[in-house]
Structure 1
Amino acid sequence: MSIISRDKKPKGVGKSPHFKMRIAPALREQLDVEAAEQGMSLANWFKNLAREELKKKGIEPKG
């Protein structure tokens, strides 16, 4: 008889949930270039854009 023990901790503890979106390849290339020119990953570039837009609307970004 064998007993299987599973980790009870939720996966990804301390990490934000994944966010997926589809982007046309040509647009993706342009976005990758812009993000690289600013020295960041595309994901970080999007997060910065989102934070800036919230601030423009008078909303203080969380996280």
Structure 2
Amino acid sequence: MLIISREKKPKGGGQSPQFKMRIDPALKEQLDAVAAEEGVSLASWLKELAREALRKKKIEPKG
């Protein structure tokens, strides 16, 4: 099961809104391991993965 939600307004001093996602614990464990191997947080790793996917579609990522 995958549930994704996004807050409409950022909380606090101009920070980005949170992006919440539910994933299977076994998948999260795998993702955590890969991110750790690359020396980044899971959030940073996922953001870069999303940017790469946009570039493949010839869309320049914002932010």
Could you say which TM-score interval applies, normalised by the shorter chain?
0.7 to 0.9
* Contact 2:35/2:45 (8 A) holds in 1: yes
Deviating beyond 6 angstroms after TM superposition, the runs of 4 or more aligned structure 1 residues are: none
How many residues end up aligned between the 2 structures? Answer: 54
Root mean square deviation, CA, Å: 1.3
Unaligned runs of 5+ in 2: 1-9
Unaligned runs of 5+ in 1: 1-9
TM-score between the two structures when normalised by the length of structure 2:
0.80
What percentage of residue pairs aligned between the two structures are identical? Answer: 72
Structure of higher RCO (CA pairs closer than 8 Å, 6+ residues apart) = 2
TM-score between the two structures when normalised by the length of structure 1:
0.80
Greater share of residues in strand: 2
Specify the structure having the higher radius of gyration (Cα).
1
